[in-house]
Amino acid sequence: MWFFRSPVIVYGDDALFHLSQLQGRKALIVTDENILRLGFVQKIEKYLHDAGIETHVFSEVEPDPSLETVLKGKALAETLNPDWIVGLGGGSCLDAAKAIWLLYENPQLDPRAINPFEELKLREKAKMIAIPTTSGTGAETTWAVVLTDRAEQRKLSLGAPVNTPDIAIIDPDLVMELPPGLTASTGMDALCHAVEGFTSIWHNDFSDGLCLQAIKLVFEFLPRAYQRGKEDREARAKMHYAATLAGLGFINSMAALAHALGHSLGAIFHIHHGRAVGLFLPYTIEYCANAGGTRYGEIVRFLGIPYQDEKEAAAILVGKIRELAKSINEPLSLAEAGIPREEFEKALGKLVENASMDATINTGTRIPSEKETEKLFLYAYEGKSIDF
Amino acid sequence: MAYRFPSDEWVKALCKTLNESEAYAEAAKNWEGDFYFIIEPDEEFKETAYLYMDLWHGKCREAFLATDPSVKDPVFKIWAPYGTWKKVILGQLDPIQGLVTRQLKLKGDMIKIMRNVKAANELVKCCAKVETEFAA
């Protein structure tokens, strides 16, 4: 028994127009200062006002949102009493919006205890719309919430299935001006979601197709979106859809080891989430393939590449991911990502501890011991192929 | 030797298996908290059974079948019908998926649980290592 969950997905040119068709009285828009400066908030507000909905803005979401930030947002929601929560921005804004929504309806809940195992209340006070302004996290489709515990220097992989947004608006206009660096990192995030969603131990027939199509779109359109930006509207739109497909794919299966390592790294070295998980992906593919029982061959076959056996398929996929990363100037090792060796070595114990506690470490086909997790970090630092 | 599930012998065998598992010791090294694993009646098993386990920093300190559940008030309780437990022990149901779909129900400190999913996984792997004879 398992579920397939999805918001209503409104996509394509002018998808934002759907906001003017909503019914409600008051919306709290959860976003960040940068999105506010770019004028996206005003655009959203105009449509909501056309629908007769009053708007308020919480723009204090920082990259890798903290527990404190979502508690602040929750307090504002309690004061305003909105019937719509609108998440607008990248993954951080959307995750913060989801957490604020859940805490607003469950005031006694400690955000660290957001979990998929108990029944939590939702939709008694408000519904939620997620509007991504990057093409990668897929957070608009998922119930995953990643929050940062600053005191513990740890990202918390949280989530409750009920926390899936009601509506996701995938409007390519919002990503036309995305800078190349962010296009690259977020694109690698989408690829990682799709590969891990397809290969996790919880993969299923409902999520497989979404993951495969997302992988195909990323390989084809990410280099174009990176190189040509808004000049290539098709590539921008396809990457925006790929991110949503990958989000739906992985949340209905699960993310895995690259996410556990990436979350751990991001919390300590503040490397962009997409960059971190994308960087680890080739290493974790090699690590899993060394034990067998993986599905990398099916991915490679879907991409139209012949292969002899599972190990070769994994090597082909790793090669393609590294080639893609190079073409969009993403680092291939932690050293290349600019992490000083001394700081890395000092943090290694914490990196291993954080990764071992991350929920996503459990859903790959191979679960590393702490010794192996340490080796994975060390190999990824040096850029060495995984031989264990 | 096969142990009947659920029984005092079975839970003690699981306790021994946990104490011999390096993977469990490592994954649960920060875990502090005792459990009732509650087996509810269904078509195959007509009673309610309470298996108590005191799990502490990667070791099992005490385990027994509680004939009177009021003898302990553990921090965590997981309950499900007998048939669901059988599937978990046989590896036919991923315990985390079982919890997410509420086939298994859990009460306790969720912050602690969310930090120790790996330990829960290793614990279930150890269940599968106990040679088990089912009631039906």
Which residues of chain B are within 8 Å of residue A3 when distances are taken between CB atoms? 101
Among the partner-chain residues B97, B110, B117, the one whose CB lies closest to the CB of A202 is B97
Q: How confident is the model at residue A231 (pLDDT cuts 50, 70, 90)?
A: very high
Q: In this complex, do A362 and B97 lie within 8 Å of one another by their Cβ atoms?
A: no
Cβ(A22)–Cβ(A48) under 8 Å?
Answer: yes
Token pair, residue A99, equals: 């957490």
Q: Taking the C-alpha atoms of B22, B23, B28 and B30 in order, what is their torsion angle to the nearest 10 degrees?
A: 70
Q: Is residue B92 less than 8 Å (CB to CB) from chain A? A: no
Distance of CA A12 to the CA centre of its chain: 21
Q: In this complex, do A117 and B113 lie within 8 Å of one another by their Cβ atoms?
A: yes
- The Cα of A120 is separated from the nearest Cα of chain B by a number of Å equal to 12
pLDDT digit string, tens, across residues A276-324? 999 999 999 999 999 999 999 999 999 999 999 999 999 999 999 999 9
What's the CA gap between A341 and A40, in Å, rounded? 40
Q: Which domains does chain A have, with CATH numbers?
A: 8-175 (3.40.50.1970), 180-382 (1.20.1090.10)
- The Cα of A361 is separated from the nearest Cα of chain B by a number of Å equal to 7
B46: domain CATH number is 3.30.1050.10
What 8-state DSSP symbol labels residue A51? T
**Closest residue, chain A, to B118 (C-alpha):** A362
User: Domain count of chain B?
Assistant: 1
Distance of CA A64 to the CA centre of its chain: 11
- Give the structural domain span for B71: 3-134
Cβ(B62)–Cβ(B74) under 8 Å?
Answer: no
Over range A149-175, report the average pLDDT: 95
What is this structure's pTM? 0.95
What's the CA gap between B23 and B28, in Å, rounded? 8
Cβ(A376)–Cβ(A333) under 8 Å?
Answer: no
Among the partner-chain residues B106, B110, B117, the one whose CB lies closest to the CB of A113 is B110
Q: In this complex, do B99 and A357 lie within 8 Å of one another by their Cβ atoms?
A: no
- The Cα of A5 is separated from the nearest Cα of chain B by a number of Å equal to 13
Residue A358 predicted with pLDDT over 70? yes
Given its phi and psi angles, is residue A329 left (phi above 0), alpha (psi -120 to 50 degrees) or beta?
A: left
- The Cα of A115 is separated from the nearest Cα of chain B by a number of Å equal to 7
- Name residue A170's beta-bridge partners: A11
Query: What pLDDT, on a 0 to 100 scale, did the predictor assign at position B113?
Result: 87
- Name residue A27's beta-bridge partners: A55, A84
- Name residue B105's beta-bridge partners: B79
Closest CA relative to residue A16, chosen from A82, A84, A88: A88
Cα Rg of chain B (Å, integer): 14
Residue B1 predicted with pLDDT over 90? no
Q: In this complex, do A115 and B110 lie within 8 Å of one another by their Cβ atoms?
A: yes
Q: In this complex, do B100 and A161 lie within 8 Å of one another by their Cβ atoms?
A: yes
Q: How confident is the model at residue B121 (pLDDT cuts 50, 70, 90)?
A: confident
Least reliable range by pLDDT among B32-36, B69-73, B119-123: B119-123
Average pLDDT, chain A: 97
Q: Taking the C-alpha atoms of A121, A124, A126 and A129 in order, what is their torsion angle to the nearest 10 degrees?
A: 60
Residue B90 predicted with pLDDT over 80? yes
Packing angle between helix A257-269 and helix A273-289, nearest 10 degrees? 140
- The Cα of B32 is separated from the nearest Cα of chain A by a number of Å equal to 15
Cβ(A174)–Cβ(A230) under 8 Å?
Answer: no
**Closest residue, chain B, to A116 (C-alpha):** B100
Q: Which positions in chain A have a beta carbon within 8 angstroms of at least one beta carbon in chain B?
A: 1-3, 110, 112-119, 156-158, 161, 201-202, 356-357, 359, 361-362, 367, 369-370
Q: Is residue B21 less than 8 Å (CB to CB) from chain A? A: no
Q: Is residue B99 less than 8 Å (CB to CB) from chain A? A: yes
- The Cα of B79 is separated from the nearest Cα of chain A by a number of Å equal to 12
